[in-house]
Amino acid sequence: MSTTFQLDTATSRANPTPQPMRRLTVPKIQARKADGKTKEPLVMLTAYTARMAQLLDEHCDILLVGDSLGQVIYGLPSTLQVTLDMMIAHGAAVVRGSYHSVVIVDMPFGSYEASPQQAFENASRIMAETGCAAVKLEGGEAMAETISFLCQRGIPVMGHVGLTPQAVNALGGYGARGRSQEEHAKILADGQAVQNAGAFGVVVEGVIEPIAIALSQSLEIPTIGIGGSDQCDGQVLVTEDMLGLFDRVPRFVKRYENMAEVITDAVAQYAAEVRDRTFPGEDQTYQPKS
């Protein structure tokens, strides 16, 4: 049995509730890939709130508290403005709202690049204050020493190579990576460096498909694709993208629902009923007891 905080949907309050299953672990996630193959691909989605975590949890192996919350939740222009406090607050909420998935929290820009010691200080704070199972950080060979430093001190790390949004200014935009032979070779080397440093998995984002396939075939750790290939060992998307909450649909996203339209229609109906005084009705008001 694992105990977590679950929202009581009748009162919107969080209460500790025992759940009849054990939470997945980092070793179990890594063990899903054996002899270079993953029979059942890993399912990963982003989550930023306790309620969304509740809805996603039973269907996912991994919930990622991504620094994409900067754009999705806060309306920021990029992930660069996201703070450690933001990540911790949302990470703790997702852990409270889940009981099955491994919860991974992104380390935000500026919280790990200066030194392995800085990374450990901030990663240990994330782990302690959220209860998450692992952290994720961007970068390949340049971050290998830091990944090794964290892993040797008990902090599981997921890597992130290819298109790394925190380096968008240096990369010159969000275009697919790996079109030149030099960049192709660098991404493959980055993936190998992340694995050698001790990472238990790696996100492969926005790369041309042959690179994603080559990484998945050459690495012993699971690869999680986003704009990669169906041959990756798992897939991740921003939940709000796949649910259709935004007008723009990135090339690598499949929109499974148009929730923006559903919400707009519901709010329009509510507004109309308020204005013509059909809401609230008798069912939504308190009447004197007879």
Q: Hey, what are 233's tokens? A: 């060992």
**To the nearest 10°, the Cα dihedral for 24, 224, 112, 67?**
-90
Annotated binding residue at 67? yes
Query: Phi/psi of residue 157, each to 5°?
Result: -125, 135
Q: Between the CA of residue 36 and those of 60, 161, 221, 231, what are the distances in Å?
A: 22, 19, 8, 12
Annotated binding residue at 257? no
Element (H, E) at 2: strand 2-8
* Sign of the dihedral defined by the CA atoms of residues 7, 11, 13, 17, in that order: negative
- Secondary structure of residue 117 in the 3-state scheme: helix
Q: Between the CA of residue 22 and those of 2, 174, 288, what are the distances in Å?
A: 6, 38, 48
Contact 173, 149 (CB under 8 A): no
The reply to whether 257 belongs to the active site is: no
- Nearest alpha carbon to residue 105 among 124, 132, 71: 132
The crossing angle, in degrees rounded to 10, of helices 116-130 and 84-96 is: 40
Out of 121, 205, 257, 273, pick the active-site residue: 205
Binding residue numbers for Mg(2+): 67, 106, 138
Can you say which residues are annotated as belonging to the binding site for 3-methyl-2-oxobutanoate?
Answer: 67-68, 106, 136
Instruction: List, as residue ranges, the binding site.
Output: 67-68, 106, 136, 138
> Which residues are part of the catalytic machinery?
205
